[in-house]
Structure 1
Amino acid sequence: MNNNSSAMVMLGLEGMAVLAVSEHDGELECAIETTAAIGWCPVCGAIARLHDRRPTWVRDLPAGDRPVTLVWVKRIWRCVHPQCEQQTWTETHPAIAPRASWTERARAHACRRVGRDGHAVAAVAREFGVGWATVMAAVRDHGEPLLQRACPGAAATAIGVDETAFTRANAVRGTAFATGIVDLHRVRLIDVVPGRSRKVLADWLSEQPDVWASAVTVAALDPFRGYGAALSAGLPNAVRVLDPFHVVRLGFAAVDDVRRRVQQETCGHRGRRGDPLYGIRRVLRRGADNLTKHAWARLLSGIEAGDDDGQVAKAWVAAQELHAIYGCRDGSPS
Structure 2
Amino acid sequence: MHSSGNLVADTICRTAEIGLTITGAADAGTLTIIDAAPVAVDDQCPGCQQPGKLRDHVTRRLVDLPVVGFPTRLHVRVPRFTCSNPACGRKLFQTSLSCADDGAKLTHRVTRWILQRLAIDRMSVSATAKALGVGWELVNQIAVDACRQLVYDNPDHLDGVRILGVDEHVWKHTRRPGQPSSFVTVLVDLTPLVDGRGPARLLDMRPGRSADVLRTWLQEREPEFRRQVQVVTMDGFAGYATAVDQVLPQARKVMDPFHVVHLAADKLTGCRQRLQRETTGRRGRKDDPLYKYRRTLLTRTNYLTERQKQRLDLLWATDDEYVALEVTWMFYQDMIQAYGHPQKSEGKKLMTRVINTLRKGLPPGLEELAQLGRTLWRRREDILAYFDIGASNGPVEAINGRLEHLRGIALGFRNLNHYILRSLIHSGQLQARINAL
Q: TM-score range by the shorter chain?
A: 0.7 to 0.9
Superposition map of 1:201-280 within 5 A = 201-263=214-276, 265-266=278-279, 271=283, 273=285, 276-278=289-291, 280=293
Give 2:415's aligned residue.
none
Give 2:16's aligned residue.
12
Long gaps (5+) in structure 2 = 193-199, 348-437
Q: 1:30 aligns with which of 31, 34, 44?
A: 34
In terms of mean alpha carbon deviation, does 314-323 or 24-33 score higher? 24-33
Superposition map of 1:156-175 within 5 A = 156-170=161-175
Q: Which amino acid aligns with 1:249?
A: H
Q: Distance in 2 between matches of 1:94 and 1:37?
A: 10
Say which structure is richer in helix. 2
Q: Is the partner of 1:44 in helix, strand or coil? A: coil
Q: Is the partner of 1:212 in helix, strand or coil? A: helix
Following superposition, the deviation at residue 108 of structure 1 comes to: 1.1
State whether structure 2 residue 143 is matched by structure 1 residue 130: no
TM-score w.r.t. length of structure 2: 0.64
Q: Which amino acid aligns with 1:182?
A: V
Q: Distance in 2 between matches of 1:79 and 1:211?
A: 51
Q: 1:179 aligns with which of 174, 185, 196?
A: 185
Following superposition, the deviation at residue 158 of structure 1 comes to: 1.2
Following superposition, the deviation at residue 16 of structure 1 comes to: 2.5
State whether structure 2 residue 133 is matched by structure 1 residue 120: no
In terms of mean alpha carbon deviation, does 296-305 or 164-173 score higher? 296-305
Q: Would you say the 8 A contact 1:115–1:143 is kept in 2? A: no
Following superposition, the deviation at residue 169 of structure 1 comes to: 3.2
Say which structure is richer in strand. 1
With over 3 angstroms needed to count, the CA separation of the structure-2 counterparts of 1:87 and 1:226, relative to structure 1, is: farther
With over 3 angstroms needed to count, the CA separation of the structure-2 counterparts of 1:327 and 1:113, relative to structure 1, is: farther
Give 2:213's aligned residue.
200
Q: 2:329 aligns with which of 309, 316, 322?
A: 316
In terms of mean alpha carbon deviation, does 234-243 or 97-106 score higher? 97-106
Following superposition, the deviation at residue 261 of structure 1 comes to: 4.2
Following superposition, the deviation at residue 38 of structure 1 comes to: 5.6
Q: 2:115 aligns with which of 111, 118, 127?
A: 111
Q: Distance in 2 between matches of 1:105 and 1:307?
A: 73
Q: Distance in 1 between matches of 2:204 and 2:155?
A: 14
How many equivalent pairs are there?
Answer: 331
Q: Would you say the 8 A contact 1:262–1:307 is kept in 2? A: no
With over 3 angstroms needed to count, the CA separation of the structure-2 counterparts of 1:12 and 1:303, relative to structure 1, is: farther
Following superposition, the deviation at residue 209 of structure 1 comes to: 2.0
With over 3 angstroms needed to count, the CA separation of the structure-2 counterparts of 1:65 and 1:18, relative to structure 1, is: same
Q: Is the partner of 2:122 in helix, strand or coil? A: coil
Q: 1:145-201: CA deviations, max 9, x gaps? A: 666889752312211100011111355557511111112232221222222111111
With over 3 angstroms needed to count, the CA separation of the structure-2 counterparts of 1:192 and 1:37, relative to structure 1, is: closer
Give 1:85's aligned residue.
89
Q: Which amino acid aligns with 1:70?
A: L
Give the RMSD, CA atoms, in angstroms: 3.6
Q: Would you say the 8 A contact 2:19–2:98 is kept in 1? A: no
With over 3 angstroms needed to count, the CA separation of the structure-2 counterparts of 1:247 and 1:275, relative to structure 1, is: same
Q: Is the partner of 1:43 in helix, strand or coil? A: coil
Following superposition, the deviation at residue 11 of structure 1 comes to: 1.7
Following superposition, the deviation at residue 259 of structure 1 comes to: 2.8
Q: 1:154 aligns with which of 156, 159, 162?
A: 159
Q: Is the partner of 2:171 in helix, strand or coil? A: strand
Q: Distance in 2 between matches of 1:171 and 1:137?
A: 27
With over 3 angstroms needed to count, the CA separation of the structure-2 counterparts of 1:309 and 1:18, relative to structure 1, is: closer
Q: Is the partner of 2:216 in helix, strand or coil? A: helix
With over 3 angstroms needed to count, the CA separation of the structure-2 counterparts of 1:177 and 1:291, relative to structure 1, is: farther
Greater relative contact order (Cα 8 A, min sep 6): structure 1 or 2?
2
Q: 1:196-234: CA deviations, max 9, x gaps? A: 111111111112222222222111111111111111112
Q: 1:273-324: CA deviations, max 9, x gaps? A: 4765355545544545666777666655555445625111121222123234
TM-score w.r.t. length of structure 1: 0.81
Q: Is the partner of 2:191 in helix, strand or coil? A: coil
In terms of mean alpha carbon deviation, does 296-305 or 185-194 score higher? 296-305
Q: Distance in 2 between matches of 1:120 and 1:294?
A: 47
Superposition map of 1:135-146 within 5 A = 135-140=139-144
Give 2:383's aligned residue.
none
Q: Would you say the 8 A contact 2:206–2:213 is kept in 1? A: yes
